[in-house]
Structure 1
Amino acid sequence: MQFARGSLRYAAVPALLAAPAVLLTPLASAACLLAGAGVLFFHRDPERSTPPTGVVSPADGHVAVVREEDDRVRLGIYMRGRDVHVNRAPMAGVVESVDHVPGANKLAFRKESERNERLRFTFEDYDAEMIAGAFARRTRSYVEPGEFVERGQRIGHISFSSRFDVVLPPEYDIGDLTVAEGNRVLAGETVVARPSEAVTVDDSAVAEK
């Protein structure tokens, strides 16, 4: 099992405290070890098998938002504490920018989280946002502007419960979605949208740009 980049240092703190804690009580030492194991479980990064076609989910969790805004479709996925928090590219494309946007830290499943702190990824054809929650304070990007990413490729992770939104290209509409609010999805594996017959998506053509 591999873990999210940079996450081992979070687990190291309680693990290192386990030794001196045993001088107080074995129970305190066990609690430290358990906390370290919990941190590692939270930051696990399993391999995924990306299907050959379709827009894939950028995150593990439950679909919390489906709506149209400015003639685009926004899909928001709420990640609970037990979900994998490594995020993946829903579509292939070139990263145009990665920007940190300051804001509040409301619970990620509430409407107020629309104003939360976030990490915004702008691609050629779509946008994605890693939205911090009430307890999430660390967002990390794995990609840089100008970099081409494959569909299903890891693009970053966020520590502790949070939300990931994707704003699909303008040629997609609500009818192209294959999921609805409340559905469980897996990053890089679950197809969340398929283009209509009038839309063609050729990842190989994008890669040649």
Structure 2
Amino acid sequence: MKVHKEGRGLLTVLFFILLVLNAGIIILAPFGDILKGIIGGVSLIIFLFFLQFFRNPARKIELNEKQILAPADGKVVVIETTTEDEYFRGKERIQVSIFMSPTNVHVNRNPVTGLIKYFKYHPGKYLVAWHPKSSTENERTTVVYQIHKNVEILIRQIAGAAARRIKWYINEGDSVIQGREFGFIKFGSRVDLFLPLDADVKVEMGQVTRGGQTVIAELK
């Protein structure tokens, strides 16, 4: 299993902290072997939890210029027609939101191939990711992809109550490829997609998505 670069430093530090802690307990603490074993087991569970969070599995990506792929692993929690004010200035779009729990892969992938037309980082609050105001008040980024026929797709990384770190590896003006990694959000979080009104949505509420593989919608 490949470990994401965002977690390597943290996992190394955590490993040595737990190693020293358990070595000290084994050598110095007046505990019985059973209690020492329990502490060691808990330490292992803690390390494995963080290890699985930073996993970065290989994904086979099938490029398709008419399809919008899932930017993240998670569960679809919103499918609705709404207005988007930051970039589209109140115009209606189809919003599809994916909630990422702490057990999901937290790599974010480009949903389409195209040009990064707009990018902006917004500092903000840390409301729970499913809160209605999280998309406008939480720490977040806004990315707009321009693709064929000048169609524009907006994606928003949103930090949650536990997600205090949004990372991105793109800049305005970059050309990007569908399915390639563009960012990472640490711990529970959410990703919003804003699609053209004529997009044919292919997912349902509650559906589990796989970043770079699940087809969110098709363009006409």
Deviation at 1:10, TM superposition (A): 1.4
- Could you report, residue by residue, the CA deviation over 1:49-90 in whole angstroms, capped at 9, with x for unpaired residues? 223431111111111111222221111100111111101111
> 8 Å contact 1:127–1:167 — kept in the other structure?
yes
**Cα distance change of structure 1 residues 88 and 60 upon mapping to structure 2, 3 Å threshold:** same
Q: What does residue 207 of structure 1 align with? A: none
- Could you report, residue by residue, the CA deviation over 1:88-116 in whole angstroms, capped at 9, with x for unpaired residues? 11111111343221222111123232321
Task: Indicate the structure (1 or 2) with the bigger Cα radius of gyration.
Answer: 2
Q: Which segment is superposed worse, 82-91 or 63-72?
A: 63-72
Deviation at 1:28, TM superposition (A): 4.1
Q: What does residue 37 of structure 1 align with? A: 48
Task: Output the amino acid matched with 2:171.
Answer: E
Deviation at 1:183, TM superposition (A): 1.0
Query: 5+ residue gaps in structure 1?
Result: 200-209
Distance (Å, rounded) in 1 between the aligned partners of 2:98 and 2:115: 22
Q: What does residue 65 of structure 1 align with? A: 78
Helix, strand or coil: the match of 2:104? coil
Deviation at 1:34, TM superposition (A): 3.3
Distance (Å, rounded) in 1 between the aligned partners of 2:119 and 2:39: 41
Q: Confirm whether residue 55 of structure 1 aligns to residue 68 of structure 2.
A: yes
Helix, strand or coil: the match of 2:178? coil
Q: Confirm whether residue 140 of structure 1 aligns to residue 167 of structure 2.
A: yes
Deviation at 1:189, TM superposition (A): 0.3
Distance (Å, rounded) in 1 between the aligned partners of 2:169 and 2:5: 9
Q: TM-score, normalised by structure 2?
A: 0.81
Task: Output the amino acid matched with 1:66.
Answer: I
Deviation at 1:38, TM superposition (A): 1.7
Q: Confirm whether residue 90 of structure 1 aligns to residue 115 of structure 2.
A: no
> 8 Å contact 1:132–1:139 — kept in the other structure?
yes
Give matches, 1:5-24, under 5 Å: 5-22=5-22, 23-24=24-25
Distance (Å, rounded) in 2 between the aligned partners of 1:104 and 1:153: 28
Deviation at 1:166, TM superposition (A): 1.3
**Cα distance change of structure 1 residues 89 and 151 upon mapping to structure 2, 3 Å threshold:** same
Deviation at 1:35, TM superposition (A): 2.2
Deviation at 1:32, TM superposition (A): 3.6
Report how many residues are paired.
193
Percent identity over the alignment?
30
RMSD, matched Cα: 1.8
> 8 Å contact 2:94–2:197 — kept in the other structure?
no
Q: What does residue 182 of structure 1 align with? A: 206
Distance (Å, rounded) in 1 between the aligned partners of 2:57 and 2:214: 15
Helix, strand or coil: the match of 2:103? coil
**Cα distance change of structure 1 residues 17 and 32 upon mapping to structure 2, 3 Å threshold:** farther
Distance (Å, rounded) in 2 between the aligned partners of 1:171 and 1:75: 12
Distance (Å, rounded) in 2 between the aligned partners of 1:94 and 1:81: 30
Q: Confirm whether residue 119 of structure 1 aligns to residue 141 of structure 2.
A: yes
Distance (Å, rounded) in 2 between the aligned partners of 1:30 and 1:104: 35
Task: Output the amino acid matched with 1:15.
Answer: F
Distance (Å, rounded) in 2 between the aligned partners of 1:28 and 1:20: 13
Query: 5+ residue gaps in structure 2?
Result: 27-35, 84-90, 147-151
> 8 Å contact 2:92–2:197 — kept in the other structure?
no
**Cα distance change of structure 1 residues 171 and 110 upon mapping to structure 2, 3 Å threshold:** closer
Q: What does residue 172 of structure 1 align with? A: 198
